Amino acid sequence: MIKLLLVEDDHKEALRINTMLKEGLQDQFTLEQRLTVSDALDLVQQRCFQAIILDLHLPEGQSFESIPQFIQYCPGAPILILSGVEDEEQAILAVKSGAQDYLIKGQTSSSTLCRAIRYAIERHRATQRITELAHYDHLTGLANRGLFYERLNCAVARCNRNDMAMALLFLDLDHFKAINDRLGHECGDSLLKTVAARIKKCIREIDTGVRLGGDEFAILLEQIVSVEDIGAVAERILQLVAQPIIVQHHQLQITASLGVTIYPWDSANPQDLLAHADAAMYRAKAQGGNNYQFYTAGMKTAGLDGSTLEVELQRALAKKEFLLHYQPQLDLRTKQVIGMEALLRWHHPYQGLIGPNNFIPQAEENGMILPIGEWVLRAASKQAKYWEKQGFPTPHVAVNLSARQIHQGNLPTLIQDILQQTHLDPENLKLELTETFLIHETEATLHTLRELKAMGVHLYIDDFGAGYASLRYLKLFPVDGIKLDISLIQELPHNTNDAAIVKAIISLGRALGLQVIAEGVENQEQVDFLEEHDCDAIQGYWVAPPLPANESAQHMVQA
């Protein structure tokens, strides 16, 4: 049964059309008639039609202007224009306005009319299918990222016009990757489908559910009346998502983290919305997941205590924006590279490559150094293992540790764990500790260092000579070597004071059986001086700057 709507004020014409349809469609249709565009628009908002036949000349004037409205309210129905005059220009204008066809009264037979309707419906279905494919996520049927931006722009325009607010929710599933890895992609896909269906259940017709990609979803809530309403929807989504899901005989449970931002309250700039919601979502993650956070509340305090960077660092970790560069260390006697120092870099999406001095101090303060440091240890160990497999003779990596990592207590367990997972020879892992945290020497620190040492990991004192250069620590702590601070090397050999200190440290190191590595070596004069005074190894631009792993490896000689 084809449901048709005829918008025609001329009764005689309407009757004629009805007769033609009866003849051509043999009662396989229903026909509703309205005399004016506004009545017809009212009707299409309540009922569905498969095609709309629209008279061009109605009492309200030309019908062209109303075509977009019909399309908006009744996107499933193609529009056929009926005109009393044959006019090519008008016909083109009609099609440009969104009509499927332009028929001329008096020249249209029953068969042409019915065929035009059938074709229009088919064509319309096909174009709709194509738009659907282009706009909707295949797996879940939710809007995709492309359509999301379109809808977002429309929603922003509506908000501005009607002086209303809307909310953008950013949803990310907690630990989805683990489930996906454990049970396979098919399970992961079913899970995503179920989550999408549950999100749909929680929102109204006017809202938009989106799959942004992976396990990330967005929800646009329009015509917001109160913040409590948004909270209620967020709550409902979290509850429903957390209900058990049966997937291929497995009963699973997954939770989500939700970030919420409100336009225009949080920002008058629509471009910021997704980033704000994303940031709020990371807040929710940081709270342990399975909760929602509003952008405003979270970020306002963040601005005060500097934890905007904390949120950024959390994101950076999750989005894999960190990377390591490696700087070779050269044995001065054999002239061979004996290892690499891993130096952290942050590939920021907007700011480009950021050096560690710009975020490590803050990360130490807010505690983010712990997860970041763990990532560095894992990544560097994996790299060392890779070099080991490639047959480099001494593929050790040196990793910088911050005081907080030593004091966190479980460092030896963590490192043991990493060594086991990567199968890296402990001898190939060196840890660089700065002098400053040895100053706060405690029984616990000493104990931790001894445990590490017992595992076979090598310990170095970094930046030696920059501060206290206290020789006491060298005897007290079980270290394997020291790294001469860059400030002592820079003015060699002309600065006689520095030269004297360097000479003394080298001979002391020798006496204590410690390896001495000079850092920040940039020129031949420095190399000559250090060689002459029996320094063990050097590191610095003279050998090579810190570089991506594969480039740095070119300085190593394969056995």
Query: Is 400 among the residues that bind ligand C2E (CB under 6 A)?
Result: yes
Taking CB within 5 to 8 Å according to partner kind, which of ligand C2E, Ca ion, none is near residue 526?
none
Q: Which is nearer to Ca ion, 187 or 501 (CB)?
A: 501
Query: Is 327 among the residues that bind ligand C2E (CB under 6 A)?
Result: yes
Torsion of CA 429, 435, 438, 439, to 10 degrees: 180
Taking CB within 5 to 8 Å according to partner kind, which of Ca ion, ligand C2E, none is near residue 327?
ligand C2E
| Minimal distance, residue 476 CB to Ca ion, in Å | 20
Query: Is 349 among the residues that bind ligand C2E (CB under 6 A)?
Result: no
Report helix, strand and coil shares of the chain as percent, to nearest 5: 50, 25, 30
**Residue pair 329/430 in contact by the 8 Å Cβ criterion:** no
Residues 25-43 as b or e (16 or more Cβ within 10 Å = b): beeebebebbbebeebbeb
Helix (H) or strand (E) holding 162: helix 145-162
Q: How many residues bind ligand C2E (CB under 6 A)?
A: 22
At 556, is the secondary structure helix, strand, or coil? coil
For helices 443-454 and 411-422, what crossing angle results, to 10°?
A: 20
Q: Which is nearer to ligand C2E, 155 or 433 (CB)?
A: 433
Q: Which is nearer to Ca ion, 293 or 402 (CB)?
A: 402
Span near ligand C2E by CB under 6 A; candidates 163-171, 285-293, 421-429, 516-524: 516-524
Q: Which of 196, 193, 166, 173 is nearest to 260 (CA)?
A: 166
Site for Ca ion in 460-479 (CB under 5 A): 462-463
Helix (H) or strand (E) holding 51: strand 51-55
Among 66, 83, 208, 400, contact with Ca ion (rule: CB under 5 A)? 400
| Minimal distance, residue 327 CB to ligand C2E, in Å | 6
Query: Is 310 among the residues that bind Ca ion (CB under 5 A)?
Result: no
| Minimal distance, residue 342 CB to ligand C2E, in Å | 6
Query: Is 360 among the residues that bind ligand C2E (CB under 6 A)?
Result: yes
Give the strands of the sheet with 29-34, arranged side by side: 29-34, 2-7, 51-55, 79-83, 101-104
**Residue pair 142/193 in contact by the 8 Å Cβ criterion:** no
| Minimal distance, residue 495 CB to ligand C2E, in Å | 16
Q: Which is nearer to ligand C2E, 327 or 448 (CB)?
A: 327
Query: Is 432 among the residues that bind Ca ion (CB under 5 A)?
Result: yes
Q: Which is nearer to ligand C2E, 3 or 378 (CB)?
A: 378
**Residue pair 544/327 in contact by the 8 Å Cβ criterion:** yes
CB count in 10 Å sphere of residue 445: 17
Residue nearest to ligand C2E (CB): 540
Q: Which is nearer to ligand C2E, 136 or 437 (CB)?
A: 437
Q: How many residues bind Ca ion (CB under 5 A)?
A: 5
**HEC string of 285-340?**
HHCCCCEEEEHHHHHHHHHHHCCHHHHHHHHHHHCCCEEEEEEEEEECCCCCEEEE
Judged by the rule CB under 6 A, the positions of this chain that interact with ligand C2E are 327, 343-344, 355-357, 360, 373, 376, 400-402, 462-463, 486, 519-522, 540-541, 546
Judged by the rule CB under 5 A, the positions of this chain that interact with Ca ion are 400, 432, 462-463, 519
